[in-house]
Structure 1
Amino acid sequence: MHDVGGELTYRGLEPADVPAVLELLTASLAGGPTGRRSAGFFDWKHRANPFGSSPGLVAVAGDGRIAGVRLFLRWSWQAGGPAGREVRAVRPVDTATHPDFRGRGIFRRLTTDLLDRVAGDTELVFNTPNGTSLPGYLKMGWRELGRVPVALRVARPMSFARGARAALARRPGPAGPPRCELPTAADWFAAPDPRLADLLAERELADAADRRLRTARTAAYLAWRYGAAPGLDYRVATVERGGELVGLAFGRPRRRGPLAEFTLAELIVRPGDRAAAAKLLRAAAASGCDHAATHLAPGTEAAAAALRAGCLTAPRTGMVLAARTPTGPLPAERTLADWRFSLGDLEVF
């Protein structure tokens, strides 16, 4: 039996802490999206991120054990319009408290201390808490902005119906990853298409007029987010026309209980090219899973092509967005409509 009544020390996360942190996260949150919390995944997520290394804090007990951990994933939004600028942000992720030390305010202390640490270089704090954690965030100054909806495109109606019934009955799904016929993003980035630069430049030029916050889709960001992610099995679909690359999408096959889902995280097409967007949406649905799921940001080519591609917004689905500034509440004028998301911006990884 450990004596847990001693004083806790709060300090920055150090490289030597990582094995103990991974053990604590696994005990508290299971294996995460890959099923296993490895040092390689941790380094990719928190050290190789092109937006910057993740700030982190730990609570250390008197006997040297890690009693709690908290990390903020760095992010960068681009605000368009005449006064376009970068909005530096962080996303709270990977937090856990050892069962022996619960009830001692560790979560709140780690969060508030980390907010103080990032206040000098961060403008926005955002995340997608679940129903269990949302009340705690609201008490600490976060504001609920609304639900980011998810659209579905059913590919195999009979299999989808059987899976949906099994999910309602809480029956477990098959073991192992779903089959997917699309090539891997890792292989695609191993020999990247030289035409990607032209597609991204054309897209960025058009997006600069959109005042909503968006993630800048650079080649380096896409390669990190989808090509280098250990164990997440992202796939790629492309559209070519006249020898040019006019569309690109990234997503991953995953189990949703008894259902096999293709989570379409990113879709990039030439400005106004609804035909390419529709083709990519259909390619995601035809990847081999029961259905494809994505977010159709209003005003985008994907949203305009959704009905044509067989996509419908699913009721009572999506992720709740909550946000604040490092120093206090989010300004009242900031709303969900100020963002133009892809599902990859909000997907938990």
Structure 2
Amino acid sequence: MAPLTLRAATPADGPGVEALFSATHARELPHPVWQWRYHGRPGSPSVCTVADDGGRVVAHVGTLVSPADARGRGLRLGLWTDLMTHPERRDLGLFLDLAEANLAACRTAGLDLLYAFPNDRSYPLLKRLLGFLDLGDLRAYEAPLSGLRRADAAPAREGLPPAAELDSFWRRARPEHGLALRRDAAWVQWRFALRPGADYRTFHVMDAGRLSGWAAAKFFPAGRVGDVLELWHDGPAAADALLAAAAAWFKERGAETVSAWAGPRDPKAELWESWGLAPRGPATHFVAKALTPAGEAFAADASFWRIGKGDSDVF
């Protein structure tokens, strides 16, 4: 029998990773979604590691790489996702060896910082055995759609604006004192326009011919939840217009609850609260690990992070 091999994943591993996903989660990872997730951004190649047992993928760790803007400088971040070992091969030693191999590959690829939203099973392992720092749970801000407080606003336009407008807007709107994935046109279009089978709705507001804000939303029939995945704006009028557009779409779809994320000290928390949302929804674990000195401050302090549900691959 050939020995178990830890190696970098390749595009040819798609069927094996998809089979592992099905065995681990009892649901499918469609091939177009796998292709989009890990090979859909030529400028930001993913860093993925698999355990190969004689040609069969029995474990996997994926890292989705994105540029980020952090207090006036650029960083390279990785979202750790799809941490899987086959139910027949669950072994802590294998998991740790695979994780360490992926961490080494991420360092070689020049990543500064990793972050993850681990489930209850992997959460303690990442903290105790792999050196991830706990940034506290993200509590979803939620409110009944019928009780949402919002000002009258001119309607936002449906869809995304031109790429040049997204790029220009991000240069103006990126946080000066925090950390956020770079919401340039390449990221926004990959995340919300190119994902196969996703039912996203996007909106934007123009002011005097210039982009003033944009938002992305999704409706989850299970629970009848309308998620505000992204909302970026340069003033309260644009924010109100975007929320009004999202709320109208949620109402059309039959949503009962509106939900959004905000981290500690994120100005969006105040925005959500002004509309009647409160941190009473489900909690999501949030951890980070610095791979270079440039990432250390951000791995240790959640207050730097400007984070939304669009930062997660779940939504």
1: distance between equivalents of 2:205 and 2:156?
Answer: 14
Kindly provide the amino acid, as one letter, of the partner of residue 320 in structure 1: H
Larger Rg: 1
**Compared CA separation, residues 145 and 303, structure 1 to 2 (3 A):** closer
Superposed, 1:2-17 pairs within 5 Å as 7-17=3-13
Classify the secondary structure of the residue corresponding to 1:78: strand
1:100 to 88, 93, 101: 88
1: distance between equivalents of 2:21 and 2:157?
Answer: 28
Question: Which residue of 2 is the match for residue 319 of structure 1?
Answer: 284
Classify the secondary structure of the residue corresponding to 2:21: helix
Kindly provide the amino acid, as one letter, of the partner of residue 79 in structure 2: R
1:74 to 65, 77, 92: 65
**Compared CA separation, residues 324 and 90, structure 1 to 2 (3 A):** same
2:227 to 255, 258, 263: 263
The TM-score, its normalising length taken from structure 1, stands at 0.76
Does 1:30 find its partner at 2:30?
no
1:197 to 131, 152, 164: 164
Classify the secondary structure of the residue corresponding to 2:135: strand
Classify the secondary structure of the residue corresponding to 1:340: coil
Question: Which residue of 1 is the match for residue 75 of structure 2?
Answer: 87
- Whether contact under 8 Å (1:284, 1:292) holds in the other structure is no
- Whether contact under 8 Å (2:140, 2:279) holds in the other structure is yes
Question: Which residue of 1 is the match for residue 101 of structure 2?
Answer: 113
How many residue pairs get aligned? The number is 299
- Whether contact under 8 Å (1:50, 1:224) holds in the other structure is no
Question: Which residue of 2 is the match for residue 214 of structure 1?
Answer: 180
Q: Which runs of 5+ in 2 are unaligned?
A: 148-154
1: distance between equivalents of 2:239 and 2:180?
Answer: 18
Superposed, 1:34-53 pairs within 5 Å as 36-49=28-41, 52-53=44-45
2: distance between equivalents of 1:225 and 1:113?
Answer: 27
Question: Which residue of 2 is the match for residue 236 of structure 1?
Answer: 202
Superposed, 1:246-261 pairs within 5 Å as 246-256=212-222, 259-261=223-225
Distance apart, 1:44 and its partner CA: 0.8
**Compared CA separation, residues 347 and 293, structure 1 to 2 (3 A):** farther
Classify the secondary structure of the residue corresponding to 1:348: coil
Q: For residues 170-216 of structure 1, give each alpha carbon's deviation from its aligned partner in whole angstroms, at most 9, with x where no partner exists.
A: xxxxxxxxxxxx9998xx35xxx34x6346524522536x1211122
Kindly provide the amino acid, as one letter, of the partner of residue 220 in structure 1: A
- Whether contact under 8 Å (1:285, 1:291) holds in the other structure is no
**Compared CA separation, residues 51 and 267, structure 1 to 2 (3 A):** farther
**Compared CA separation, residues 267 and 205, structure 1 to 2 (3 A):** same
Distance apart, 1:96 and its partner CA: 1.8
Kindly provide the amino acid, as one letter, of the partner of residue 17 in structure 2: V
- Whether contact under 8 Å (2:5, 2:52) holds in the other structure is yes
Give the helix-richer structure, 1 or 2.
2
- Whether contact under 8 Å (1:199, 1:269) holds in the other structure is no
- Whether contact under 8 Å (2:68, 2:77) holds in the other structure is yes
Q: Which sits farther off after the overlay, 291-300 or 228-237?
A: 291-300
- Whether contact under 8 Å (2:157, 2:203) holds in the other structure is no
Distance apart, 1:91 and its partner CA: 1.7
**Compared CA separation, residues 283 and 29, structure 1 to 2 (3 A):** same
**Compared CA separation, residues 59 and 118, structure 1 to 2 (3 A):** same
**RMSD between aligned alpha carbons?**
2.9
Task: Calculate percent identity across the aligned residue pairs.
Answer: 28
- Whether contact under 8 Å (1:265, 1:294) holds in the other structure is yes
- Whether contact under 8 Å (2:203, 2:242) holds in the other structure is yes
Q: Which sits farther off after the overlay, 335-344 or 97-106?
A: 97-106
Kindly provide the amino acid, as one letter, of the partner of residue 19 in structure 2: E
- Whether contact under 8 Å (1:203, 1:269) holds in the other structure is no
1: distance between equivalents of 2:271 and 2:304?
Answer: 22
Distance apart, 1:115 and its partner CA: 0.7
Classify the secondary structure of the residue corresponding to 1:130: coil
Q: Which runs of 5+ in 1 are unaligned?
A: 158-181
Question: Which residue of 1 is the match for residue 244 of structure 2?
Answer: 282
Q: For residues 110-139 of structure 1, give each alpha carbon's deviation from its aligned partner in whole angstroms, at most 9, with x where no partner exists.
A: 110111112131111110112221111112
Give the strand-richer structure, 1 or 2.
2
1: distance between equivalents of 2:107 and 2:97?
Answer: 16
Superposed, 1:128-143 pairs within 5 Å as 128-138=117-127, 139-143=129-133
Question: Which residue of 2 is the match for residue 54 of structure 1?
Answer: 46
Q: For residues 195-250 of structure 1, give each alpha carbon's deviation from its aligned partner in whole angstroms, at most 9, with x where no partner exists.
A: x6346524522536x12111222112111110111122111133345565433210
Q: For residues 310-346 of structure 1, give each alpha carbon's deviation from its aligned partner in whole angstroms, at most 9, with x where no partner exists.
A: 322226x332211112479x74783001111122113
